[in-house]
């Protein structure tokens, strides 16, 4: 009976050990299951993407004879992008054009761009307003990915970007009504239509403030302009270095204020959104980005 009693005790101990091992295994599996399904997948994706970004930049600035500079006006506290302007500078023509792109512009990203963004920012929608860029993109990549989004929208290659703090942006630009031709043409018909009042329309666009034009008028020498750009570069963010920006200095010095113009990107107001007319925009930009543009 003592032997049977001993066997019974060992049997009970083995049962307890098995039960404990089972509970431990179940607990470990449950913990692993919870970590796998309830952890933030975006965080892992962002970390992996950050490592990739350190190896290869999202955008690369280029120095072009006809430069396309994407200008942002942004709030330094919230990071919100309040203004977007495409600056096109034709070095040979010494022609400088600023085209306002409303931040309420809504468009559908191409599948190619969307597939590129979703692995990085899974919550970003394919149909987006430009004003929402700040909501879905983080501070370190907002301006770079903004370039890709605007390239997708306008179907052009952007040379570089310049992000200007809002308080400085407001010292340079102000919104005003401008007059322009309703039609877009790339031949002699354009100049004929420009003299026809029936072909005129009023639009709101960003223009230079009077005080800023006076400030620019006081920059008499190349050194004055260089010092101003260097001072400005200490306040802004750009993927074009100050050294590379100086490649445009000689051309800037020979650019007359009469060759500076302002426009609004071609499109239509639809409810609370602005929708770009891709056909007209292609013509609008072609006037400014080809060697034989109309002066």
Could you give the 3-state DSSP secondary structure of residue 55?
Answer: helix
Backbone φ and ψ of 80, nearest 5°: -70, 135
CA–CA dist 131, 100 (Å, integer): 14
Q: What's the token pair of residue 278?
A: 């891709």
DSSP labels for 200-223? EEEEEEEEE-HHHHHHHHT--SHH
Reference 64, options 190, 251, 204, 277; nearest CA is 251
- Residue with tokens 């301006």, as numbered in its chain: 143
pLDDT tens, 114-162? 999 999 999 999 999 999 999 999 999 999 999 999 999 999 999 999 9
**Residue-level pLDDT at 195:** 61
**Assigned token pair, 259:** 């060759």
Q: What is the mean pLDDT of residues 164-190?
A: 86
Q: Which residues contact 84 (CB under 8 A, 6 or more apart)?
A: 70, 71, 72, 73, 100, 101, 102, 103, 130, 146, 150
| Whether 92 contacts 183, CB under 8 Å | no
**What pLDDT is attached to residue 49?**
52
Say if CB 237 and CB 207 are below 8 A apart.
Answer: no
Per-residue pLDDT tens digits for 192-217: 555 667 789 999 999 999 999 999 99
pLDDT(85) > 50: yes
Q: For domain 66-289, is the CATH number 3.30.420.590?
A: yes
Band (pLDDT 50/70/90 cuts) for residue 295 is very low
Structure confidence at residue 183 (pLDDT) = 85
Q: What is the 3-state secondary structure (H, E, C) of 240-255?
A: CCHHHHHHHHHHHHCC
Q: Which of the four pLDDT bands, split at 50, 70 and 90, describes residue 21? A: low
Confidence check: pLDDT of 25 > 50 = yes
260 contacts 96 by C-beta, under 8 angstroms? yes
Domain ranges of the chain: 2-55, 66-289
pLDDT at 53: 47
Specify the pLDDT at position 187: 46
List Cα–Cα distances, 115 to 109, 111, 120, in angstroms.
Answer: 10, 6, 9
Query: Tokens 């302009």 belong to which residue?
Result: 225
- Region 278-289: what's the mean pLDDT? 95
Structural tokens at position 233? 């570069």
């Amino acid at each position: 009976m003592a032997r049977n009693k001993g066997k019974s005790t060992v049997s009970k101990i083995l049962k307890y050990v098995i039960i404990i091992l089972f509970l431990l295994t179940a607990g470990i599996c449950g913990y692993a299951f919870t970590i796998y399904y309830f952890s933030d997948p975006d965080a892992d994706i962002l970390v992996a993407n950050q490592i990739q970004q350190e190896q290869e930049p999202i955008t690369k600035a280029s120095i072009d004879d006809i430069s396309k500079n994407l200008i942002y006006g942004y709030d330094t506290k919230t990071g919100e992008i309040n203004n977007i302007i495409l600056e096109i500078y034709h070095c040979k023509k010494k022609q400088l054009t600023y085209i306002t792109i409303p931040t309420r512009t809504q468009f559908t990203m191409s599948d190619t761009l969307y597939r590129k963004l979703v692995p990085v920012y899974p919550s970003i929608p394919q149909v987006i307003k430009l004003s929402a860029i700040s909501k879905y993109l983080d501070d370190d990549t907002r301006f770079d990915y903004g370039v890709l989004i605007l390239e997708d929208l306008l179907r052009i290659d952007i040379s570089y970007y310049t992000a200007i703090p809002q308080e400085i942006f407001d010292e340079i630009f102000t919104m005003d009504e401008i007059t322009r031709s309703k039609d877009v043409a790339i031949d002699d018909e354009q100049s004929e239509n420009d003299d026809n009042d029936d072909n005129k329309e009023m639009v709101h666009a960003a223009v230079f403030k009077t005080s800023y034009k006076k400030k620019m008028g006081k920059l008499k020498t190349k050194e004055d302009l260089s010092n101003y750009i260097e001072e400005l570069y200490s306040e802004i963010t750009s993927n074009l270095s100050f050294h590379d920006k100086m490649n445009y200095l000689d051309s800037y010095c020979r650019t007359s204020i009469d060759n500076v113009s302002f426009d609004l990107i071609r499109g239509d107001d639809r409810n609370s959104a602005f929708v770009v007319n891709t056909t007209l925009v292609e013509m609008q930009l072609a006037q400014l980005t080809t060697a034989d543009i109309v002066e």
